[in-house]
Structure 1
């Protein structure tokens, strides 16, 4: 049940941010400096982005520590989800972690 939920959250975590990002890119192109300027244009947008960056840093540490603790192979797969955002990387890591824990319990 959890695997299906995490898979569904991965899909949402990828689609929802891309629904905002892709139209912006179609209008402005891949202008990195304009993207940063727009992201920090107002105090509320700066607040949101700083929160996302802090969450991403925390998630990176969690992925490395938890992967090492449980012996999860290839934790970098979940880190690739950060290319879209924390909204994909976190449920992707939880999905990989859950599958690994199930495999471990089936072996023992």
Structure 2
């Protein structure tokens, strides 16, 4: 059941963010300076932007440390998922990889 929940969360973690990003990219192109400007144009947007940036850094450090401790290979896949989609996709993907490797996430 836990594996299925992680699969659903991974799917939601890619579909929901892209649901908002894709129309924006269609309208504006892949204009990174504009994206950053719009993200940080309000206090609440800046709050969420900074929160996600810090969360991504923490997640990448966790993935590297945990995967090396467990002797996992290919953990870089979860890091790529984090940088290409976001924490909402990278974290459930890593937890799925960890479960398949044999590690418990019930610490």
Same fold per superposition (TM over 0.5): yes
4+ runs deviating over 6 angstroms: none
In the other structure, the counterpart of 1:97 is 98
Could you report, residue by residue, the CA deviation over 1:60-99 in whole angstroms, capped at 9, with x for unpaired residues?
A: 0000010011111111010111111000000000000011
Moved more, 56-65 or 93-102: 93-102
Cα distance in structure 2, aligned partners of 1:100 and 1:84: 23
Deviation per CA, 1:2-31, whole angstroms, max 9, x where unpaired? 211111111000000000000100111111
Aligned residues: 102
- SS in structure 2 of the partner of residue 30 of structure 1: coil
Match of 2:10? 10
For 1:62, the equivalent position in structure 2 comes to 62
Deviations 1:31-74 (A, max 9, x none): 11100100100111001000000000000000001001111111
Equivalent position SS for 1:36: helix
Q: What residue ranges of structure 2 are gaps of 5+ in the alignment? A: none
- TM-score w.r.t. the length of structure 2 is 0.92
Q: Is the 8 A contact 1:3 1:99 kept in 2?
A: no
RMSD, matched Cα: 0.9
Larger radius of gyration: 1
Please state if 1:34 is matched with 2:34.
yes
More helix by share: 1
Q: TM-score, normalised by structure 1?
A: 0.91
Mapped partners of 2:23, 2:53: distance in 1: 22
